[in-house]
Amino acid sequence: MTLDLDIPWTEKYRPVSWNDIVSQNIAINNLKDFVKSGNMPHMIFTGPAGTGKTSTALIIAKKLLKKENYYRDLLELNASDTVRMSYVRRVLKAFVNQNMNPGEKNLKIVILDEADNIPNTVQQALRRIIEKTSSSVKFILMCNYINRIIDPIISRCAVFRFVNLSKEKIKERLIYVAQREKLHIPEDKAEKFFNTLFFISGGDLRKAINTLQMSVALELSGNIEINEILKISGFLDEPTLENLIDAFQAKDFKRARNIVNSFKSIDSRNFIRQILGVLPRIKSIKSKNLTILRAYMGDIDFRISQGADEQIQILSLIAEIVDNVNKL
């Protein structure tokens, strides 16, 4: 069988029914019951990327809307485009006000993606739309950060928190995709391969499936070049990581800096996550200093997320680690 690499596997394997959703917590199971009962509140799905929010919303729409009216009764909007916010509002108003046959109370669903990107003033307008809309229109808002949604909207919705998927769940789904795609992954290497994909994904199933597909496209999975996969995904490969740990151990700032500088495709936040994982392997750091370093890494990660110069921050991190190492 030839591999079909044209369609992204994340789309090919987008869950189409509840059974496909790699369920993550009790809240999601409750959600099913809500939908079954037909008495659905407005909802907010919040949580990290690639954990099933959009997929779940689409499954709900498919279950509740009549097939023949699906496209008429479902409005999918992405709010990230704030320039066109007035457009979003106009479309939204037209949709919820659309004349329905008198007496007919068919359900309509509005899926509003990336709602946390809507400026607060516009959220106020949205809140009024939600308030005024007839009870047969249900809103599903999606966001990564619920603290960016204004309280009056939150209080009108049932909030469902999606979480990063566990190693077991990610592996389970990856193995499913691998089987469906008839991938040949040598048995003795499968465990390490899937563990690496999980590490790279950080619990984001979309990223995990994308990395799997990329490895296959680059023919890395047949002979499982874990180090290549790590590098392509913006992480240090294992030999480099070992070298770096050695340099830290030797309290050798220059060497550590050179190793990091030689690594062109480094992604600073990935780097931090990777170093955080191996800190305990640097034997000569006292446990008290480990705690300080971890806190410091949190700061660095935050600064980078706020736009600080990545190279300076990474250098600062290296200096701090070296500083906390006791010469053996």
**Looking at beta carbons only, is 115 or 241 nearer to Mg ion?**
115
Q: Least distance to ligand ATP from the beta carbon of 20, Å?
A: 6
Distance of CA 235 to the CA centre of its chain: 17
Sorted by sequence, the CB contacts under 8 Å of residue 165 that are 6+ apart come out as: 22, 24, 51, 173, 203, 204, 205
Measured distance CA(245)–CA(231) in Å, rounded: 17
Q: Which of 31, 44, 46, 52 binds ligand ATP (CB under 6 A)?
A: 52
Question: What residues numbered 253-312 form the site for ligand ATP, per CB under 6 A?
Answer: none
Where are any strands of DSSP class E within the chain?
A: 43-46, 74-78, 108-113, 137-143, 158-161
Q: Does 173 bind ligand ATP (CB under 6 A)?
A: yes
Q: Does 210 bind ligand ATP (CB under 6 A)?
A: no
Q: Which of 31, 43, 44, 55 binds ligand ATP (CB under 6 A)?
A: 55
**Interface segment toward ligand ATP; rule CB under 6 A; list 14-22, 123-131, 147-155, 190-198:** 14-22
Q: Does 198 bind ligand ATP (CB under 6 A)?
A: no
**Looking at beta carbons only, is 53 or 169 nearer to Mg ion?**
53
Contact flags string 151-170 toward ligand ATP, x per CB under 6 A: -----------x--------
Q: Which of 31, 43, 53, 157 binds ligand ATP (CB under 6 A)?
A: 53
Query: Of 96, 97, 98, 99, which is closest to residue 109 (Cα–Cα)?
Result: 96
- Given a contact cutoff of 8 angstroms between Cβ atoms, the answer to whether 79 and 114 are in contact is yes
Query: Of 1, 63, 67, 68, which is closest to residue 33 (Cα–Cα)?
Result: 63
Q: Does 138 bind ligand ATP (CB under 6 A)?
A: no
How many other CB atoms are found less than 10 A from the CB of residue 232? 17
Q: Least distance to Mg ion from the beta carbon of 10, Å?
A: 11
Q: Does 115 bind ligand ATP (CB under 6 A)?
A: no
Q: Does 171 bind ligand ATP (CB under 6 A)?
A: no
Size of the site for ligand ATP (CB under 6 A): 21
Residue 52 binds what, of Mg ion, ligand ATP, none (CB under 5 to 8 Å, by partner type)?
ligand ATP
How many other CB atoms are found less than 10 A from the CB of residue 279? 17
**Looking at beta carbons only, is 114 or 228 nearer to Mg ion?**
114
Token couple for 113: 């993606």
CA angle (50, 167, 300) in 5-degree steps: 70
Could you give phi then psi for residue 123, rounded to 5 degrees? -60, -35
Residue 194 binds what, of Mg ion, ligand ATP, none (CB under 5 to 8 Å, by partner type)?
none
Q: In angstroms, what is the C-alpha Rg of the chain?
A: 24
Residues at the contact surface with ligand ATP, assessed by CB under 6 A: 10-11, 13-15, 20-22, 49-55, 144, 162, 173, 205-206, 209
